[in-house]
Structure 1
């Protein structure tokens, strides 16, 4: 379970390596994008689990949790007075809100001024704060955007989080939000699928030779594997994942990966022995397929009676297994020399038992040497080799029952020569251990005696209470002893005999060395904001400084890290600084192979010891992997790996192998590099058409020259289409079209239309605001009516189903009000009526408080007594004519009134009119005023 939690935690931290997409962090008020991302990842997790792709499910799950947790740390959910989870977050069909509009101010520095949902803008992301609007900042030393202050609550440290005082409340809400998300997943999957996601229960993995000579062995292994499976169903030790990888010649598979014990039992029961032809078999190909399918931190058991025809893959198997902390246990029932080679050519019925004397029928210790490839993979991964008789096939399978446990921990792994006088190894057993297993395999020994002594000085015997011994009396020396409820204290294992033996001590405990990584030195820091750390590829370089980073689970009071040689002798003490359960510091890599140990005292005051069983071999060359990419079925994808030679000039052979067989080419096959030189290896992967979505391929690229060798592992997921990283395109169409000056004089409709690129995830929603609250419309279009006079800015955005966001704005200028015109003639009265043409000037003004005044024109000049064109001279209608001549003429005994009509427009095109009058009076104007 610890390894599954580490995978989820690493995927969570990896999100912080992308500081350009606001949807990943709910930054910049991109709530639509963040919600779409979480909903999409939820669907992915469910599909991954139903497809039994645990690794991808944990990656998607961890990524979703980061975004969920950022919602509470980066938004004002807490500042608005909320506690607990947002009930809409991550749920399909739900929207988050109400959300502050793009033109609505939300912060004054670090003070939240809105009652709506908002989040801080972060410099360099795909959504920038609107200019001139008082928006909240994310804040802290890494936010380089404009403005000051901030509202992030990531840490309880004001240097990094301006709202650090509300960190605890945000963390509590994030925990509640995480629990809500897990409950939603639980409701969507089966109980077994949920256990697979969380790594509840170990992984049981087997790779079995199914060629003709393996019939009797297969029958024994089948019976024991089914028995182990049956007795664990419904218990805490029920495996969350079963992996079965048969191999034959010339093919391997079919691979079975399942969370269903019935499916596993059916698959293993269906195995039969046939074919094979020549003796060497494709053992490494079977192991590679199994390792690729297994969870991190697992144990893999392989059964064969032949050499490996594909021994050139041993390094690849070791490297991939080491990168996933998988121990490999080769169970060998022969090799391809002597009688065994002849036996492999015979039908099963004619074959003698592997270790049976033909004359007497008595079973004897098998006289064969474990082939080197199997020794190499066991040593590199921290497993063990067993040289066995066919008669002991069923018994040795019980080793899987002893080692494959839910809370398995590693205490010791040494390989040492035996002497007649014997040597003793001390193993501290702490108070947290409920079981301990001592496994000593003398596959390379001709004789071996193992004595286990308790802290009180008594010797462990097979019949003692709580003691179980796995007996393999017909095989090479091996002692496998499991002790339940061991007493705390110093236990002693005494080994004697001749040849070489390997001793592994494992147990069950909640106190574990959960993780240990070598990091680039610039990743080792006391910075509490450090996340998204990536370990170096392959083995570290001898003599170089690297970061060492280890994590212990709860249960310890003190801890000290050290490096030991494979024989258990000390190599180097590591002075790592403690940060809670994490320990880190720069170290200088030694030049000899080593294993990582941690010792200390548990919370009960007893000494404890944990270790990582895989051997680390420092090197003088480095292989660096490029970033992961999505693989598309039927499409070739190239990856450029870098090989750097940090030692003497040399020529290195290059290998590129993956667990699904997608490699199409790897060039060049060799690299000749001077000291300090760097070369590039290009690998092309192409999954076949029809490859299932979510399939995860592990590509291992290695470079080697003799003992100088290193590797890098790159995991890539298969999707039917590449991930959509392109935001949708969104356009705004204003109807009616504004005039040349940009104004409308009738109600306006803004039509928003979003489109995603071909093959994209599709548009999820369109959001717009006209200055107040935002409105989100599902789908790819929205209509915005503008009916109020004035200048309205429509801010809009579109988000696709992946969370990519694009935004824009359009300004609508609407003026439906006619301009105000005033006209005044000078003079406006004529007397006496001299019948002469008199000069007249008209003053015309056009006023408009919205779009502004436009031009005016003279529309007409008329008289109160009908048309008299000879009395109206010098006026040109249709122009801005303001002066001409009018005749001072009366109409008999009546006044004549001249009316000059003007029409004016505003910039929007609205029309207004005014009239100026000139009166020719019969009486003098003064007299008229007196009469009036």
Structure 2
């Protein structure tokens, strides 16, 4: 995944107070704020609709995303509700929206520059088809990334064209209706602007263009001042064409004294257009999947990667029982998993990834698992783990069960890259003999699993097969969306050390884990009360020991204050302190970019060595970011001698913080944050789990489109190093095992980018909506330094069905409904309609959006579908939608509300509206 956070909710102040569509601006109306306004409004509408249907009350206590999630989910089940997944989803969309200004800075269609209207609409249509296809395959992250890019292009139309200058206040629906033509476009010979020497004229569109309602947009020249004669420019210092007559520009990206009204009109139209697009997607996929795409779900997923070789029969039974316990014990609570993922592996087979939202269906899949073949010989463990990391949502908890070392150890660097990119936590339950040593430096051992667990912030638990059932409480502890990490440290070799940590009032179910052998420890609370390792049930908590794991569950939740644990051991060990809380943070390492619309881009790989590290943090509190005060952000090493590097922070508002660390620690580090919860007044401490380090190698690559099944996807990438030049090795893999071809080496000169190309061939039978995660790595000649990039692209079948379902109302019986609404209760009205899909792919679903009556249909496989609706006369409006197999949407609306007026009008037939809302088609 691209990392969470993004260009993000920035409001950095540049030179002067401006308000801009661009990622960075000094005011309120940016691409991010426009997108955020539309997303929050549409999510709120969807949550309210779901609550109304379920008979729940939807009453957010405030406007923050955290409070919106709480109102959306809390009525359905008791327990703590975390807004982390929702905020992460928002940030992914913001990220990709902003990256259009970096990755496609010179592409006219991506910005509707230079009168590229047909091409721009083609990008919107292609992207929307991809979004719907991704969601149908439950590839929500791929859908979010494409949504961010599509929204940027759609929003730019209103800022970069003369749509609002023509007097239009509503969105141009033709941009998202492929059945409607783009009309009255200015051709290449038509002059469109008058000269503006000052560059700040209120409206330089020619009068005849305004009178004839001709549509044009500004030309943009980053490398050349050339433009067709008489054409408008985009404007601004980065646009070289703005100095060629007619000078000036018509961009409304920034609010200036000369264009306040036009800028505001463009913002309003762009927001309304974004809402139209989101509504079409929501109608096509349904409310529940729309909320899932937006990260609004109870707990995060439960993901199991299970060895199915012959010696694993007992382990499979334990894993099955754990899932059953999760299903049964957490049903009806906020910790009930929203999704279950299972990836089996054997030798030489692994996969497929099985994804279920219905717990009973996952039970069926688990019951199908049988142990066969193999033994405790090396297996394809990392190949199975790769599928899980690519297929599970970011920040997932993944549990691996195995009793053998990895046969596919060559994937270890790929797994580390996917862990860092997804920020998922991987825990291993190892039941095989772990005393074996490596046969060679390239051979695998159980130490590799320990390395991966440490890199992700997970556990490496070694137990016998008999002890395994006693070790799985860790899974029950961590299967919650509100899980937070307070502290994590590792020491190898071990030594005596005291680790302080802060617990706050919001924390519940506080648990301490210590993994390692020959360990003694003493735990001390803020009042000075202590408990040592020999006291299984003491004043502070209950200690459970199994294998190399010690699990300490504190006796009471209200243990706020400064704690410490003193550990003594001369062998390697790891300490982790967790709890459940809605106070947390998400982060991403970012780099700035310039150009006409500068901003910040999230790094897919490791930050660059030899320069300050920059992070963007979003902090979540119980009442939104305003309920938090941030006091300290630092980078700290997890292993070896502890190194803490303090930072300088800038509050960007809305809970977003820009963090700069001038002196980055050597080796692997994590992010630690301390602050104060204003709700309780207690200090809190949180730590990221995924370890990161810097690199002198940099890889640049951009995915700019989807690809059809059976057609080659060419990915151009560039590699540069600030270290020694030479022949760098290139390696790549993808989670679908699609054939790939690329050069396995690249000769680099220090400080210069070298280009190369990779070709990936999706098989012709690849289902539409499949997303592919590609991990590309470059490694120095001596193997000491490396970096990676993780990219996603989608395989989407070319769409030829542009026909939306058609609704025709054939009969309405409402004569019995009284004119006095107060007397409506005993009476009913009926409606009959036919639904057809023309020459399209066939209607797939029919669902009611408004009305409290009963809607039935005949078989959806019939060429003509009969829809019958019956409702009380008290429910006077009905709206239902028909969606075809490729996501085209037809919406039917009927009202029996009688308009106020003379008696003769009240006796007229009910007013009938049949509104057809098209979805989007693709242009390849």
TM-score between the two structures when normalised by the length of structure 2: 0.64
Offset of residue 720 of structure 1: 6.1
| Match in the other structure for 1:48 | 134
Per-residue CA deviation, residues 332-353 of structure 1 (Å, 9 max, x unaligned), is 12236589xxxxxxxxxxxxxx
Would the alpha carbon gap of residues 195 and 331 (structure 1) be closer, same or farther in structure 2, given more than 3 Å must change? Answer: farther
Q: What pairs up with 1:395-794 in 2 under 5 angstroms?
A: 395-416=470-491, 423-429=498-504, 433-435=506-508, 437-442=510-515, 444-449=516-521, 451=523, 453=525, 473-479=545-551, 481=553, 486=558, 488-496=560-568, 499-519=571-591, 523=593, 529-531=597-599, 533-536=600-603, 538-545=605-612, 547-553=614-620, 554-555=625-626, 556-567=628-639, 569-580=642-653, 581-585=656-660, 587-604=662-679, 605-622=681-698, 625=701, 633-634=709-710, 646-647=722-723, 655-665=731-741, 667-668=743-744, 684-695=759-770, 696-703=772-779, 708-719=784-795
For CA contacts below 8 A with separation 6 or more, give which structure has more relative contact order: 2
Q: Against the structure 1 CA distance between its residues 10 and 273, is the aligned structure 2 distance closer, same or farther, given a 3 Å change threshold? A: same
Q: Which secondary structure does the structure 2 equivalent of 1:307 belong to?
A: coil
Question: Distance in 1 between the 2:613 and 2:133 partners?
Answer: 39
Match of 2:428 in 1: 330
Match status 1:377 vs 2:377: no
State whether residues 584 and 619 of structure 2, in contact with CA within 8 Å, keep that contact through their aligned partners in structure 1.
yes
Matched, 1:143 2:143: no
Q: 1:154 pairs with 253, 276, 287, which one? A: 253
Q: Distance in 1 between matches of 2:791 and 2:526?
A: 45
Aligned match of 1:123 in 181, 198, 220? 220
Structure 1: any 5+ residue segments left out of the alignment? 340-368, 725-799, 805-932
Equivalent-residue separation in structure 2 for 1:126 and 1:640 (angstroms): 22
**Secondary structure at the counterpart of residue 614 of structure 1:** coil
Equivalent-residue separation in structure 2 for 1:688 and 1:123 (angstroms) = 39
Q: What does the per-residue CA deviation read over 1:507-528, in whole Å, with 9 as the maximum and x for residues that have no partner?
A: 4445443222142xx53x8x99
Instruction: State the 1:596 CA deviation.
Output: 2.2
Alignment of 1:271-290 (within 5 A): 271-277=369-375, 279-290=377-388
Distance change (3 Å), C-alpha of 1:72 and 1:234: farther
Mark the CA change 1:337 to 1:493 in structure 2 (over 3 Å): closer, same or farther.
closer
Q: CA deviation at 1:57?
A: 1.0
Question: Could you tell me how far 1:9 is from its partner in structure 2?
Answer: 1.7
The alignment partner of 1:618 has SS state of coil
Displacement of 1:592 after TM fit?
3.2
Q: Is the 8 A contact 2:218 2:250 kept in 1?
A: no
From 302, 306, 324, the equivalent of 2:404 is 306
- Of the three residues 188, 192, 200, the one matched with 2:284 is 188
Distance across 2 between alignment mates of 1:33 and 1:636? 22
- Other-structure match for 1:765: none
Farther off after superposition, 310-319 or 176-185: 176-185
Deviations 1:824-843 (A, max 9, x none): xxxxxxxxxxxxxxxxxxxx
Corresponding position: 1:10 with 2:83: no
Q: Which whole-Å CA distance do the structure 2 matches of 1:254 and 1:721 have between them?
A: 22
**Which SS does the other structure have where 2:776 is aligned?**
strand
Compared CA separation, residues 394 and 702, structure 1 to 2 (3 A): farther
Shift of 1:252: 0.8
1:22·1:125 contact (CA, 8 Å) conserved in 2? Answer: no
Quote the residue 1:70 is aligned against. 156
In structure 2, relative to structure 1, the CA distance for the partners of 1:405 and 1:653 (3 Å cut) is same
- Residues 640/49 of structure 1: CA separation in 2 closer, same or farther (3 Å cut): closer
TM-score, length of structure 1 as denominator length? 0.64
Superposition CA RMSD, Å: 4.5
Change (3 A) 1:608 1:337: closer
The aligned length equals 686
Task: Give the conservation status (yes or no) of the 8 Å contact 2:636–2:665.
Answer: no
Quick one: structure 1 residues 647 and 149, their matched pair in 2 at CA, closer, same or farther if it must change by over 3 Å?
A: closer
Deviation (angstroms), 1:121: 0.8
Following the alignment from structure 2 to structure 1, what is the Cα–Cα distance between the partners of residues 268 and 335? 32
Q: What corresponds to 1:178 in structure 2?
A: 274
Q: 1:424 to 1:273 in 2, by over 3 A?
A: same
**Alpha carbons of structure 1 residues 176 and 123: separation in structure 2 relative to 1, 3 Å:** closer
Q: Secondary structure at the match of 1:276?
A: coil
Aligned to 1:848: none
- Tell me, yes or no, if the aligned pair for 2:536 and 2:544 is still in contact at 8 Å: no
CA contact (8 A) 1:439 1:504 kept: yes
Task: Give me the whole-angstrom Cα distance separating, in 2, the residues matched to 1:462 and 1:277.
Answer: 36
Indicate whether 1:110 and 2:202 are aligned: yes
CA distance in 2, matches of 1:41, 1:673: 35
Query: Which of 226, 243, 253 in structure 1 is aligned with 2:351?
Result: 253
Q: Shift of the alpha carbon at 1:246?
A: 0.8
Tell me the CA shift for residue 65 of structure 1.
2.0
Q: Would you say the 8 A contact 1:646–1:676 is kept in 2?
A: yes
- In structure 1, distance between residues paired with 2:474 and 2:712: 43
Does the CA contact (< 8 Å) of 2:606 and 2:694 recur in 1?
A: yes
Q: Deviations over 1:721-758 (max 9, x none)?
A: 7999xxxxxxxxxxxxxxxxxxxxxxxxxxxxxxxxxx
- Structure with the bigger percentage of strand: 1
CA–CA distance in 1 between the matches of 2:731 and 2:675? Answer: 41
Deviation at 1:632, TM superposition (A): 5.6
Moved more, 611-620 or 230-239: 230-239
Higher helix share: 2
* Structure 1 position 215, deviation (Å): 1.3
Contact 2:154 2:273 in 1 (8 A): yes
Instruction: Tell me if structure 2 keeps the 8 A contact 1:455–1:487.
Output: no
Q: 1:169 to 1:255 in 2, by over 3 A?
A: same
Partner of 2:50: none
Distance 1:370 1:389, change over 3 A: farther
Give the conservation status (yes or no) of the 8 Å contact 2:589–2:607: no
Asked if structure 1 preserves the Cα contact closer than 8 Å seen for 2:113 and 2:220, the reply is no
> Cα distance 1:338–1:504, how it changes in 2: closer, same or farther (>3 A)?
closer
Q: Is the 1:562–1:572 contact (alpha carbons within 8 Å) kept by the matching residues of 2?
A: yes
Distance in 1 (alpha carbons) for counterparts of 2:686 and 2:794 = 37
Aligned-partner Cα distance in 1 for 2:731–2:694:
19
Query: Is this contact kept in 2: 1:34–1:803, CA < 8 A?
Result: no
Larger gyration radius, structure 1 or structure 2: 1
Please tell me whether the aligned partners of residues 645 and 677 of structure 1 are also in contact (alpha carbons under 8 angstroms).
yes
Cα distance in 2, alignment partners of residues 29 and 673 from structure 1:
40
Could you list the per-position Cα deviations for residues 57-90 of structure 1 after superposition, in whole angstroms to 9, with x for gaps in the alignment?
1122212222333344445565667667666663
Deviation at 1:317, TM superposition (A): 0.8
Tell me the distance in 1 between the aligned counterparts of 2:182 and 2:530.
Answer: 67
1:494-516 Cα offsets, whole Å, 9 max, x none, are: 44555333222344445443222
Secondary structure at the aligned position of 2:519 is classed as: strand
Instruction: Confirm or deny: 8 A CA contact 1:121 1:128 kept in the other structure.
Output: no
